């Protein structure tokens, strides 16, 4: 018997809000980056699942998740480069210390 669609969606929901929670509470920027990845993966799951259950004969959702994964990888590379640069300037990667450019 096939696993119902609801299960997948619940998993994805939990992952997404875990990501949101982590993004808002963790001060370390690497942890924030990991939270963003979590949110992105939750969305990828949604794409795949909806495609699988609602439009079985088509491929758009799958293709989209592959795109999203590729873009997430590129984004992570950039984010890590930024974080390393920030570290070189202020010798830590705490998001609360990054308010030099406010107003």
Partner 1 sequence: MEYTIFILLLPLAMFLLLGLLDTKLKPRVAGILGTLGMTVCTALAYYTAYLFFTQSRVDGVYPSHTPVNYEWLRFTEHLHIDLGIYLDPISVMMLVVITTVSLMVHIYSLGYMHGEKGFQRYYAFLSLFSMSMLGLVVATNIFQMYIFWELVGVSSYLLIGFYYTKPAAIAASKKAFIVTRFADLGFLIGILILSFFTKTFDFATLTANPSAIITESAGMTFMGCSVASWALALIFMGGAGKSAMFPLHIWLPDAMEGPTPVSALIHAATMVVAGVYLVARLFPVYCVTPEVLDLITTVGAITALYAAIVACVQTDIKRVLAFSTISQIAFMIVALGVASDTDLHAGLGYMASMFHLFTHAMFKALLFLGAGAIIHAVHSNEMSEMGGLRKYMPITHITFLIACLAIAGIPPFSGFFSKDEILTAVMHKSTFWGIWMTIVAGLTAFYMFRLYFRIFWWKETDCSHHTPHEAPLTMTLPLIFLAVVTCVAGFIPFGELVSVNGQPYHIHLDMSVATTSIIVAVCAILLATWMYLKENNKPGNIEKATSVLHRAAYRRFYIDEIYLFITHKIIFNLICRPIAWFDRHIIDGTMDMFANVTQCVSARIKGLQSGSVQGYVWLILIGSLLVATITICCCL
The rounded distance, in Å, linking the Cα atoms of 23 and 95 is: 11
Place of tokens 């705490």: 94
Residue with smaller CB distance to partner 1, 62 or 95: 95
Cβ at position 35, least distance to partner 1 in Å: 10
Residue with smaller CB distance to partner 1, 1 or 24: 24
CA angle at residue 103 from 76 to 87, to 5 degrees?
35
The rounded distance, in Å, linking the Cα atoms of 44 and 72 is: 11
User: Which positions from 13 to 42 touch partner 1 by CB under 8 A, shown as an x/- string?
Assistant: -------x--xxx------x----------
Q: State yes or no: residue 89 binds partner 1 (CB under 8 A).
A: no
Residues comprising the chain, all counted: 103
Q: State yes or no: residue 96 binds partner 1 (CB under 8 A).
A: yes
């Amino acid at each position: 018997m096939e696993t119902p669609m609801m299960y997948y969606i619940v998993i994805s929901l939990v992952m997404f809000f875990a990501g949101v929670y982590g993004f808002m509470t963790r001060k370390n920027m690497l942890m924030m980056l990991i939270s963003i990845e979590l949110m992105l993966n939750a969305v990828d799951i949604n794409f795949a699942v909806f495609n699988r259950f609602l439009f079985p004969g088509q491929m758009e959702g799958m293709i989209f998740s592959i795109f999203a994964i590729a873009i997430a990888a590129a984004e992570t590379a950039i984010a890590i480069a930024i974080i390393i640069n920030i570290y070189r300037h202020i010798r830590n990667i705490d998001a609360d210390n990054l308010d030099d450019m406010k107003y």
